[in-house]
Structure 1
Amino acid sequence: MSPRALGALGAALALSLTLSSCGLVRDLTAGDEPEAPTEAGSEEQAEEVAAEELPFTRQGRMFVEDGNDVAFEVVINALESNGEYLMIDVTHNILEPLPGAVTSAVAPIRMVDPLSGEVLRVLSNDDHGENYGTYFVEGDPFLPTHEGLPLPMRRYFPAPSEEVETLTFTGAGLGYVPGVPISYVDEFTESPEPNVYDHIDPETWEQGELPDEIFYPDDVPESGLDVSEDRQSVESFVDSDIASTTRAGDQETIALHADDMFEVDEAEPTDEAAETIRQTAASLRENLAEGTEITVIGHTDGTGSDDHNQTLSENRAESARELVEEELGDGFTLTTEGRGADELLAEEGGDDDEEARARNRRVEFFYEVPLDASDSEDTDGLDAAQRHVAEPAAYFEDMEAHTTVSHNDLDLNVYPLVRDGAYLFQVVGFQNSTLGDLEADLEGDEARLPGSPAQYTEGTMGGFRLEEPETGLIRYVVRIRTGEEEYEDFADEIHTLSPGEEYLALAVFPAPATDVSEMTLYAGAFGEIAGVPIR
C-alpha cells in the first residue's frame, strides 16, 4: 500500500465520519480518570456538567479497511462567528496505531440551533468542490495523519443569528455535543503559519522527521458567498388519534383526520366534529398572530374518480373553514383549496391499505409562523399542535445506558433522552454479539405503524418513534429539508458492525412538554422500550 494510502484520512472524513463505520466509546471524558458512573436516571446522573468555556472533548472509533477499529478523539477548541460565517476549530487525534486506510463514507457534520431548528451545513469551495478550511493539496480531500500527532482542523458554516449563544454539534462519529458556545468576533482568529510542507512532500507524500505540532493552510471563504442552500431547516411530525402537526421551518400544518369529522363520502360535518374544530381554533389562536392567512385544504384517499375526489375535497375544506371561522372570530383570513387524491401521505394498496387510506383522508390548516415561535401555553387546543421549547442543553461528559435489549445477534444499548431546546436527542448503541462482522438489517414491518407516512419510517432509525405515556402522542424522527421537496432523516444509518464494539447512533425527535420526564421508545425490530428517562 502506498504511503499516501497508509497515512491519509479524508479531510471531510476527519470531521464527517459516517456512523455506518464509527461508534462512540462509553467514556466521553478526557484527561483524568472518570468517576464511576452513577445509576441511570438518578439525580446525580441527571445533573449536567456545565462547561462554559471550551475545549470540549469527545472520543470515538473509526473503521479501517482491514476491519479493525481504531480510537480517535476530537477536541473542539473554538467556535467563532464574524456575522457572515461560522468557524469551528478542532484538534483530531488518532489514539491507536492506524493499520490501513479509512473506509468510511462521507457524512457531513452539522451545527444545529436547537431553539429554531435551523441546521448549518459545512461550506464547500465551488472552484474544486471540497470544503473550506484546512487542506494539504488544494482540491484534494485527503490529509496526511499520524498516530500520536495532533491534526488541527478548521471548517466553515453560514453564521447563525446574532442572538444565538450556543449551538449543538452533530456528526463525525461523535453522536452530538450540546451547548458549544459561540464567540462573536470582527475577524476570525488567525490559524498558525503552515509548516506541513517543511516535513511532507505534497507531490510524493514522503515525510521526514515530524515536529511535535504540524499545521496546514486554511482556505477561508471570501465574503459574499451565496450560502442559502447551506442553511437548512428541520421538519417535525407529531401524531394523535384525531390530528397531526407538521412543522417545517416557518411553515406549519395541522391535519385533522377526516374520518373523525365526516361520514363516508359526505361533506357535512358530524356532531362530533364540533369539539375537534373547537380545539383546532384554540390551537390556531395560540400559535398565530392576528392577521395571519390560513389555508384550509381538503384531501381524499385514492378511491373514486378524480372529479368526485376533487369536489369532495373542496366541499370538506369549505365546511371546515366555516366551522373554524365561527370559533376564531375576526382577525384571520381563511381561504380554501381542494386537492383530491393528489397528495397522498401514506402509500395505499399494501397490507395496511385501510389505515393508509384513512391517513390520506384529511383536512389541513396551513399557515406560516416565525422561526423563533415560543413554547405553547394553551392547554385547551389540540395536543399534537402544541409547541414545547426549553432552554438549550448544556455540555455534558458522560451518560450511562438506561437499558439493553436484543434482536437476533444484535444488542441495543438505550441511553437517556436529552432535552435540547425544542428537540429530544436520543443516542442508542448497536453492539454485535457474534465473533464476526455483522450487517445490521433493522428494517421491516416492526419499523412502522400501519398507515404511517412513509417518509418518517425509512432507514435504520427512521422507524424509531417516541410515545408520550400519558397522552399517547407519537413523535417521529425529524427530517432535515435539504432542498425543494428534498429531505433526509436526522438519524444515523448503521450497516457493518465489528464484533464486540459499540456503535452509537443519534436520532432527533420533537420535544414534549417540559413536565414529561420519560418516554416510550419504539425501536423498530427491537420492539417497545418503556420508561426511557429524559435528562
Structure 2
Amino acid sequence: MALAGCSGGGEQKPASHRTAAEKPKPYTGPMAKDAWSSLGGGHSRIEMKQVERRGDRSVLRFYLTNPGKEPEHYSFGTTIAGSAYGNLHFMLVDPVGHKAYTPLYDNNGTGKTVGSDLFIMSAFPGARYETILEFPPLPASLDRMTVVTPTTAGEFTGVPVVDGQGPVKPAAPVPDFFDKPKPGSQVAWPVRGLDAPAKGGAYELYGITEGEVKSTTSSAAEEKVGLRTDVLFAFDKATLSARAESILDEVAAETKAKADPSKPPILITGHTDGKGGHDYNMSLSQRRADAVLKELQARLGTAYQYKAEGKGETEPIAKEGGPDDAQARQKNRRVEISYQIRQRTAGTGSTTSGGQQADPGGDAGPPAPFRPDGPTVASRFASFGQGGDKRRIDVKPFYRDGAYLVAVFDIVNLGPDAGPNELEDYSTSGGGPFGDFSVSDPSTRIVYRGVRLGKDGGTYVDPGRASFRHDPGTDNRGFFYVPAPPPSVRTVTFNAGPFGQIPNVPVR
C-alpha cells in the first residue's frame, strides 16, 4: 500500500507474535552481531569481550571479523575525517548511573582515538582481529555496561566490567603489513597513543518526558520539572487555579523524595511566550514563580532553601512565529522547578541482581543482559517524496536497560530510489537520526523522548548518522534510548514519525 507524502499506515501481519507476558529464553551464545557501517566501514562481525579498569583509564576489548570473501578496510568514524584516521567512535553507557563515556583521543583530546589503529591494514576474511579502545576511568561499582557502536549492530548490552590484568595491549600477535592471516586465526591490529596524553568525555545522560500538564528533564544529578502555566494560572494572571493545588501536591511529593536539601536551592523559574512587552513579561513571570515558590514552601517546609526568578520571554524552548506558533507559545509559557537529586551512598540504596549499585533516583532496573533482537511484532509502510520512494519499518519488542527503554526496529528501503539522505526523513525536529520518533504510554499519554548527552547535548544514545545504507533493497537496524516508563507498563505506543503510530509494542 503506497502512501502519499510522509504518512504512516499499511500494516503488515508480523511473521510471529509474542505477548508482553511471555519472557524470552535466556541467551547463552556469544555477544556478537553482524554490522554495516558507512564511510567505507563495510560489513563486519563484532563480538564484545569486556571493559577493563586500568587506573586512570578504561579499555574496551572486542573482536572484528570480516565475513566476506575479499579483504575489507574497516573504519568506525562518524565523520569523513574520522574515517580517514581510522577512528573508533564507540560509546560506553552506564544505564543505571545515567552516564555515558566517549573514547580517549590523543594529543589531549584533539587527535585520534587511542587504541587499535584500523587505518593501516585491511581485515582478511575469516580472521578474528582483537581490537582495543581506551576510555576515561569508570566507577568502581560498575560490573556491566552497554557499548554503543556507530553501526547497524547498534548497542551491546550486558558487557562485563572487570579489573584489568597485565599490560594494556592486545593479547594476540600483530601481523606484518603484507601478511595474510588465515580464516580462523586470531590476530590484532597495531595500536597507537597508549602512552600519550589523551582526553575523553564523561557525560550525564538526560531524559525527557512530556505530559499534558508537565514535562520532566532528568539525569542522575539533577531534575527539572516544567509546568504549563495555562494549567496553573488564568490568562495574564499570577493567582493559582484550583487545579494547580493537586498538581503542586504531586510535584512537592516527588521533590521531597528526590531533592537534596544539602545542595540548595530549589529553583523556581517563570517563563512567558514572546507576546507582550519585555517589562510586562518579566514582571508576570516573576509573580508566577513567586506564587509557585510559596505553595511549594508550604508543602515542603524549611528543610529546603528556595529561589524564584522571572525570565520573561528570554529563554524560549520552542521557536515561535512558524506554522506551529500556537503550540510553540504554549510550550514557552511555563514555570520550571529544578533541584539537585539526593545521591544514595553505598549500602543505603538497592542493588541490581548483578551487584551493581542502583541509580541515585531509585527508579532504574538492572542493566539488560545481552540478547538478540526479538521477532517482528508489527510492520508499517510509508512513501516519501515526489518519486514515491517506499520503505517498511519492522518493529521488534522494546526492552529495558537500567533506567531506560530501548526502541528497536529495522527499516527496509523498498525503492525505487535511494534518495539524497533518507535519515533526514526521520529527524525533521532534530534529536539524533530518529528525532521524529518517540514512545508513549497509552494509559497516561506521557511521551518519552530520546536520551541525550549533557543538558544541551546534540548527541543522543542511538546509532548516530554513520551507520545507514541508502540503496534500494538494503535494510538497516535502528534503535534509540528513552526514559523507561514505570515497571507496570508492559506495552507502549511507538510514535514512528512518517510511519504513524504503532500501538501495543511489547516491553520485555
TM > 0.5:
yes
Q: How many Å separate the matches in 1 of 2:145 and 2:273? A: 42
Number of residues of Structure 1 aligned to a counterpart in Structure 2: 459
The one-letter amino acid paired with 1:129 is: G
How far has the Cα of 1:148 moved from its partner? 2.4
Q: In structure 2, do the counterparts of structure 1 residues 112 and 447 end up closer, same or farther at CA, with 3 Å as the change threshold? A: closer
Assess if the C-alpha contact under 8 Å between 1:443 and 1:459 holds in 2.
Answer: no
Q: How many Å separate the matches in 2 of 1:346 and 1:64? A: 34
Aligned mate of 1:277, from 230, 239, 248: 248
Aligned mate of 2:170, from 149, 174, 191: 191
Aligned mate of 1:56, from 31, 36, 47: 31
Assess if the C-alpha contact under 8 Å between 1:70 and 1:94 holds in 2.
Answer: no
Tell me whether 1:472 sits opposite 2:409 in the alignment. no
Q: In structure 2, do the counterparts of structure 1 residues 513 and 366 end up closer, same or farther at CA, with 3 Å as the change threshold? A: same
- SS of 2:254's equivalent? helix
Q: In structure 2, do the counterparts of structure 1 residues 488 and 215 end up closer, same or farther at CA, with 3 Å as the change threshold? A: closer
How far has the Cα of 1:485 moved from its partner? 4.0
How far has the Cα of 1:317 moved from its partner? 0.7
Assess if the C-alpha contact under 8 Å between 1:298 and 1:337 holds in 2.
Answer: yes
Q: How many Å separate the matches in 2 of 1:97 and 1:361? A: 60
Tell me whether 1:503 sits opposite 2:476 in the alignment. yes
- SS of 2:415's equivalent? coil
- Compute the TM-score of the two structures, normalised by the length of structure 1: 0.78
Q: In structure 2, do the counterparts of structure 1 residues 298 and 42 end up closer, same or farther at CA, with 3 Å as the change threshold? A: closer
1:378 counterpart residue number: none
Assess if the C-alpha contact under 8 Å between 2:105 and 2:111 holds in 1.
Answer: yes
Assess if the C-alpha contact under 8 Å between 1:110 and 1:122 holds in 2.
Answer: yes
Q: In structure 2, do the counterparts of structure 1 residues 105 and 132 end up closer, same or farther at CA, with 3 Å as the change threshold? A: closer
Q: How many Å separate the matches in 2 of 1:256 and 1:368? A: 18
Assess if the C-alpha contact under 8 Å between 1:523 and 1:529 holds in 2.
Answer: yes
The one-letter amino acid paired with 2:136 is: P
Tell me whether 1:133 sits opposite 2:115 in the alignment. yes
Tell me whether 1:123 sits opposite 2:104 in the alignment. yes
Assess if the C-alpha contact under 8 Å between 1:439 and 1:496 holds in 2.
Answer: no
Assess if the C-alpha contact under 8 Å between 1:64 and 1:100 holds in 2.
Answer: no
Aligned mate of 2:131, from 153, 175, 181: 153
Assess if the C-alpha contact under 8 Å between 2:431 and 2:458 holds in 1.
Answer: no
- SS of 1:144's equivalent? coil
Q: How many Å separate the matches in 2 of 1:523 and 1:533? A: 15
Q: In structure 2, do the counterparts of structure 1 residues 192 and 185 end up closer, same or farther at CA, with 3 Å as the change threshold? A: closer
Assess if the C-alpha contact under 8 Å between 1:442 and 1:525 holds in 2.
Answer: no
Deviates more, 1:493-502 or 1:355-364: 493-502
Q: How many Å separate the matches in 1 of 2:172 and 2:309? A: 61
Q: In structure 2, do the counterparts of structure 1 residues 263 and 209 end up closer, same or farther at CA, with 3 Å as the change threshold? A: closer
Assess if the C-alpha contact under 8 Å between 1:462 and 1:489 holds in 2.
Answer: no
1:89 counterpart residue number: 61
How far has the Cα of 1:58 moved from its partner? 1.4
Assess if the C-alpha contact under 8 Å between 1:82 and 1:188 holds in 2.
Answer: no
Q: How many Å separate the matches in 2 of 1:70 and 1:130? A: 20
1:181 counterpart residue number: 160
How far has the Cα of 1:101 moved from its partner? 6.0
Assess if the C-alpha contact under 8 Å between 2:381 and 2:499 holds in 1.
Answer: yes
Aligned mate of 1:514, from 487, 490, 501: 487
Listed as ranges, the gaps of 5+ residues in structure 1 are 1-36, 201-206, 376-385, 449-453
- Relative contact order: is structure 1 or structure 2 higher (C-alpha 8 Å, sep ≥ 6)? 2
How far has the Cα of 1:498 moved from its partner? 2.3
- SS of 1:478's equivalent? strand
How far has the Cα of 1:38 moved from its partner? 6.8
Q: How many Å separate the matches in 2 of 1:115 and 1:209? A: 43
Q: How many Å separate the matches in 2 of 1:181 and 1:99? A: 31
2:321 counterpart residue number: 349
- SS of 1:123's equivalent? strand
Tell me whether 1:305 sits opposite 2:277 in the alignment. yes
Q: In structure 2, do the counterparts of structure 1 residues 521 and 437 end up closer, same or farther at CA, with 3 Å as the change threshold? A: same
1:46 counterpart residue number: 24
Q: In structure 2, do the counterparts of structure 1 residues 406 and 440 end up closer, same or farther at CA, with 3 Å as the change threshold? A: farther
Assess if the C-alpha contact under 8 Å between 1:388 and 1:512 holds in 2.
Answer: no
Q: In structure 2, do the counterparts of structure 1 residues 185 and 372 end up closer, same or farther at CA, with 3 Å as the change threshold? A: farther
- Identity of counterpart residues, as a percentage? 22
- Compute the TM-score of the two structures, normalised by the length of structure 2: 0.82
Aligned mate of 1:114, from 78, 91, 95: 95
1:27 counterpart residue number: none
Q: CA RMSD in A?
A: 3.0
